[in-house]
Amino acid sequence: MKTSTILYTCIGFLAGALLTKQLSSRKITPEAALNKVKKNVPARVSGSWIYTTKEPADLNGLSYDVYRGGFTRSTSSGEEHFLFTVDADTGSVLEVSSTTI
């Protein structure tokens, strides 16, 4: 095998590894986080919002960068209002709490 073939193969492998790392470390957008929350609500969502700025939060002794938002869902007994906290890195829902307006 030629030395140049081995060299180009190694360069291609390293470039692929770096690209994979970059793509897997991308943060979730606020809109994608909101859509993820809304998909998991068991009733029809009649309204929703999310802050587009990440903020630090400590939950259960762990530190996160989070998005905060809220939604309203319609049920047979009326509307219910909720606040949520989503991990800005993974989109995992960290906290959901009922609220009154």
pLDDT of residue 76: 83
- Structure confidence at residue 20 as a pLDDT band (50, 70, 90): low
Digit-coded pLDDT (tens) for 44-90: 899 999 999 999 999 989 999 999 999 999 888 889 999 999 999 98
Query: Alpha-carbon distance 94 to 101, whole Å?
Result: 22
The reported pTM is 0.70
pLDDT of residue 8: 64
Cα 40-42-43 angle, rounded to 5 deg: 120
